Chain A
Amino acid sequence: MAVDKKFIGREYGPLTYEIGKEKIKEYAAAIRNEDPHYMDDEFAKNSKYGGIIAPPTFAVIYSGMLAAPFFMDSELNLDFAMLVHGEQEFEFYEVVRPHDVITTTGKIANIENKEKVDVVSLETYSKNQDGKDVCKAIFTFVIRKR
């Protein structure tokens, strides 16, 4: 059954996520990115940021959290077994640092009903504890019709 276009604009969140320094290092190691800005306290202290920062795509973790309530939305009734991640876009603003508390809200930005697939875009907006924008993300999912 096609995903109903009436759900365009449906909102999720807010969800909050506190950034941990060791989590940054774990994530950086997982994407094989041992940049000293993420891994080396001494280097980072002397960098223009004055301390460890998160890799830009760490946004996957704090903004991606919003995918859970979206996937679990029983009214939306997504056919999860037929769903793939089709496209991704990130815009980055303030850098993210350990102990930042990131609040993410989001909405269904678009639903397209095509012949063989539905395409659903989830747009998320993340701010830090100072109210400054850190990331806007668009997760686009493609759901093949059975």
Chain B
Amino acid sequence: MPSKDIKVGDEFNAAQEVDKYRAIYYAGASGDFNPIHIDPEFGKQVGLGGAILQGLCTLGFVAKAITDWTGDPGSLKRIKCRFAKPVHMGDTITTEAKVSSIEGGKASLELKVTNQDGQEVLTMTSADVEL
């Protein structure tokens, strides 16, 4: 979307399926090989119900949803979240975004990030994009 057309109340959403090997790809690219991410047996032993996706990979999906919408990766100026619930392989993560305010050449986004059961996996999620 051309940035000049962005207005308060605009909404967009995007979904991303977490395939079986996503945490392993992310471990290779990021260096985060914590066994809770790559070893389902270990994940079960520590009460996580299997391997869980790196939280920063989930945040990467959210950032993609935003920059796909603006069309310019350089427009994302701030993003924050709380990692509220584990994401497992096979989950589908949906990002729903709404422009909450526009001020000083920046649009602020409120984001809701849920799994396929409607549970919020990230909370307190927000971002600013430059217009």
Contacts and interface: CB of A to CB of B under 8 A. Distances in A.
The finding on whether chains A and B are genuine partners in a shared complex, rather than unrelated, reads yes
Interface of A: 23, 26-27, 29-33, 35, 37-38, 48-49, 53, 55-57, 60-61, 64, 84-93, 95, 138
A88 B77 contact: no
A56 B124 contact: no
16 contacts: A30-B22, A30-B28, A31-B26, A31-B61, A31-B63, A33-B63, A35-B64, A60-B30, A60-B56, A87-B82, A87-B83, A87-B124, A88-B55, A88-B59, A91-B77, A92-B77
Interface of B: 16, 22, 25-26, 28-32, 55-57, 59-61, 63-64, 67-68, 72-74, 76-83, 124
Nearest to A138: B80
B81 A92 contact: no
A86 B82 contact: yes
A93 B82 CA distance: 22
B84 to A, nearest CB: 9
A53 B22 CA distance: 23
Contacts of A88: 55-56, 59, 80-81, 83
Given A32-B64, A88-B55, A95 B25 contact: no
Given A31-B57, A86-B82, A26 B64 contact: no
Given A35-B67, A55-B60, A92-B78, A30 B26 contact: yes
Contacts of B57: 30-31
Contact of A85 (B30, B55, B79): B55
Contact of B63 (A49, A55, A89): A55
A46 to B, nearest CB: 14
Contacts of B22: 30, 32
Contacts of B83: 84-88
B77 A31 contact: no
Q: Which of A29, A53, A57, A91 has the most CB of B within 10 A?
A: A57
Contacts of B82: 86-87
Given A30-B57, A31-B60, A85-B83, 6 more contacts: A30-B28, A31-B26, A32-B64, A33-B64, A87-B80, A91-B78
Contact of A61 (B31, B78, B124): B31
A57 B124 contact: no
A121 B29 CA distance: 24
A55 B56 CA distance: 13
Given A27-B29, A32-B16, A56 B61 contact: no
